[in-house]
Structure 1
């Protein structure tokens, strides 16, 4: 089942780091797929907030007897025969397909489609029910079986949107420019989709999908129960963009994660094709649609900066175009946790720079 809504009526529904330099240039980032210099840069497309539509899908993965609802934001002005990028987005703990709409609107108004997947085992349902059993529900939602199921949700949803029986979308999606993204638990899911995995009973559990050419990782928690991150992330080889802040602390019943954990995820990825953006201050939830959290003034700025950075990252990855990334660095320097005027780095930020 699918339901189409109007794109114009959509409402804008963790300890402190030391000063961290901003790593915004990827070494060899354009190695995933051919450069498309003949096409306008994604980030330079003219914004038009009314130039997209929203389609809701109420899919069920019959093989797993699991609902996989999804919401597609699709640009309206895709030229006949043209192919556009697709970002598959995974929400955080307790979220839904309706969340992170500020990103979806920004992307769609610039010609980039996004498919927001809802994960039935860790969506809004975890907040419903007896408050006395909330911790139990959160523990079940964070279990490795659910983490793997979320990765399979992403795969299933991508299968569906690339099939002909849901419309003409598959014919207009550029198979070389499919990206996975997510926030918080969804950032873990995005990493699972590009190769993160754990060893259990002698076998590696993972849900890697080779169709993803890059990943956008916003506020990724640690992989709970895994003392060493390098083995978990050793198979992540696509370019990754990591976004966080010095106030990015996770505090939910039964779980705590300091802001330094976001940097640990970034450092544990072996490939040099990665970038890190650290905002000064803020909070974990300011990357959601919630207004005001992390600071009334900072919140909308971080949202705008994150949206712009994501497409500047895609320009660099797919077209080798560094212009938008350089422009972004100059524009948003005042809210970054970096030395004033510091140039981009070509190397990861050292773990020793973190103040516990």
Structure 2
């Protein structure tokens, strides 16, 4: 994803003077939780390393909103907590496989749609369509609950995203609030319009490069500072907009333990977060998770 392309969304909003809330740009409200016949959900966070497999689903929220979705999940056990991941502008889910597979191998189901107007290679690219993506993401969650009955823990659903995917994730917690979400991770993301976070307090982990020249770290910190929900911030000291292979292990470890704590109340995982984030001296960490 080129630097100029990654700037497009911010420039487009400035030029159009976008002031509507994320909800106003969405074609349908976030759905309520779907019933699902299920084995007894796990009461403790998954540990160890799981064998995984993946599938590609051809989903669509209407004829003009195809949402091809890749899902990675452990081959045994379950039902599993679900993480819905949203990609950045002109990116694809496959570009994030290292991180998403790490989450799946840790015992989580991970689903990543390719959005219809902002993913790589689309003919009708439109950066502003990111405002419709929270509803897309909620639709994908609903479809997965229906297609994988008993395999997804309906009480442990989370969202994550990078860059414009972080915008999507925050949108799912604000104007197009998906009440099923119990936690979120925002990677190099921000809010585009002033829409307060809504609904039940939901823990959020922010991960941001201090030298990010596409989405300034100050933009993420403004959301973090205004939050009254449980929150944590991992600052990658020399990081830019996209994490390097050297930075990814600490990001994967920190976010995985964040999922264990936020979705399963695993206090041991919570106690590891600072050490996870600062391993190798590549990042700093702060948190206010007990509010």
Establish whether TM, by shorter chain, passes 0.5: yes
* 2:216 is equivalent to residue 247 of structure 1: no
Aligned residue-pair number? 249
The corresponding residue for 1:303 is: 248
Distance 1:300 1:325, change over 3 A: farther
Task: Work out which structure has the larger RCO, using CA pairs closer than 8 Å and 6 or more positions apart in sequence.
Answer: 1
Stretch moving more, 171-180 or 258-267? 258-267
Whether the aligned pair in 2 keeps the contact of 1:85 and 1:174 (CA below 8 Å) is yes
Report the Cα distance in structure 2 between the residues aligned to 1:38 and 1:65, rounded to whole angstroms.
38
Segments of 5+ residues of structure 2 without an aligned counterpart are 1-6, 8-39
Structure whose CA Rg is larger: 1
Question: CA separation of 1:37/1:336 partners in 2, compared to 1, >3 Å: closer, same or farther?
Answer: farther
Q: Call closer, same or farther: CA 1:331–1:274 in 2, change over 3 Å.
A: closer
Distance 1:222 1:38 in 2: 33
- Counterpart in 1 of 2:103? 107
* TM-score, normalised relative to structure 2: 0.77
Q: CA 1:209–1:222 in structure 2 vs 1: closer, same or farther (change >3 Å)?
A: closer
Shift of 1:37: 12
Structure 1 unmatched runs, 5+: 1-13, 15-35, 130-136, 198-206, 251-256, 287-298, 339-343, 349-356
Aligned mates of 1:273, 1:311 — CA distance in 2: 16
Q: Is the 8 A contact 1:46 1:110 kept in 2?
A: yes
CA offsets, 1:227-279, max 9 Å, x none? xx4xx1242631111111211220xxxxxx4222121121233x231111111
Aligned to 2:173: 194
State how far apart, in whole Å, the 2-side matches of 1:239 and 1:347 are: 7
Please report the TM-score for the alignment, with normalisation by the length of structure 1.
0.64
User: For the residues of structure 2 that align with 1:302 and 1:55, how far apart are their CA atoms?
Assistant: 28
Contact 1:69-1:97 at 8 Å conserved across structures: no
Q: Distance in 2 between matches of 1:38 and 1:337?
A: 32
Q: Deviations over 1:40-83 (max 9, x none)?
A: 433xx2124xx111100112223x631111000011122xxx41
Q: Counterpart in 1 of 2:162? A: 183
- 1:208 counterpart residue number: 177
Residue 307 (structure 1) shift: 1.3
Residue 47 of structure 1: aligned partner: 49
**CA RMSD, 1 decimal:** 2.6
CA contact 1:245–1:280 (8 Å) conserved in 2: yes
